Amino acid sequence: MVFQKFQSPALAGYAVISHWPAVSVVLGPRLGALADRLDPRRIIQAGMLLCIACSLGWGVLFMTGTLELWHAVVLFSLHGMGRRVVWGPASGNC
């Protein structure tokens, strides 16, 4: 849907890249260490909440027709952080 709206191959590529190396390398070790100290279930829940908030954001922006390019970049980045950086180390799936 995002590609149909913006017709941007660069944005489609960013959707994939935002979930992988750049975010994981910078923040992953710090949150992995935090997952070792705290209850990993709580950290997984925080990652899930971040992903849920992003999904709700996509829904609201699509339904109201107000989605802009910067919204997509921010939502892709936050979802990538929620899934790969917060949720991933705590669940052991990095």
Each residue's pLDDT tens digit, 12-31:
888 888 777 656 677 777 77
Angle at 40 between CA 85 and CA 88, to 5 degrees: 25
- pLDDT-derived band at 91 (thresholds 50, 70, 90) equals confident
Which pLDDT score is estimated for 93? 63
pLDDT of the residue at 49: 93
pTM of the model: 0.78
